[in-house]
Amino acid sequence: MSGRVDARLAELAIELPEPPAPVAAYVPFVQTGNLVFISGQVSFLGADDSLAGKVGADLTPEQGQQAARNSALNMLAHLKSACGGDLDRVTRCVSLRIYVASAPDFTGQPAVGNGASDLVGEIFGDAGKHARAAVGVTALPLNCAVEVESVWEID
């Protein structure tokens, strides 16, 4: 039987990907008390690395938003694992940290980050309102456009 969040995902026609395996020496998430810290998740969904490169040079801001959304989908896949498969355990998204591989003169990182923030809000409503930083960086792992890390409160 699906829970409330699973029903919302179905309503939005969102299917979470398989949680991607770490590409270096770290674990995908750590829980301490009622907080879950999700390691940075890149913008590739499975083998699809079409959103590679720098926003403002190789990719448009709109493609950057999609990359942020993809990163958030990977993040949510790990969150679901951290919750034992039950996203109804989420009580709130505490914060998102969004890293955008950016051309030197690109300053639209906050708008790109909305691709992740909007998705969290669509799914979790008020519990999805979070603190956030969206920053430009010169490069990200695997030449991905966006990486998102997060902190969640669960019961």
pLDDT one-digit tens code per residue, 42-93:
999 999 999 999 999 999 999 999 999 999 999 999 999 999 999 999 999 9
Q: What is the DSSP string of 74-116?
A: HHHHHHHHHTTT-GGGEEEEEEEEEEEEB-TT---HHHHHHHH
Query: What mean pLDDT do residues 8-27 have?
Result: 96
Domain ranges of the chain: 4-17+29-154
The pTM score is 0.97
pLDDT one-digit tens code per residue, 82-118:
999 999 999 999 999 999 999 999 999 999 999 999 9
Domain 4-17+29-154 has CATH 3.30.70.2740: no
pLDDT above 80 (res 2): no
Work out the mean pLDDT of the chain and round it to a whole number.
97
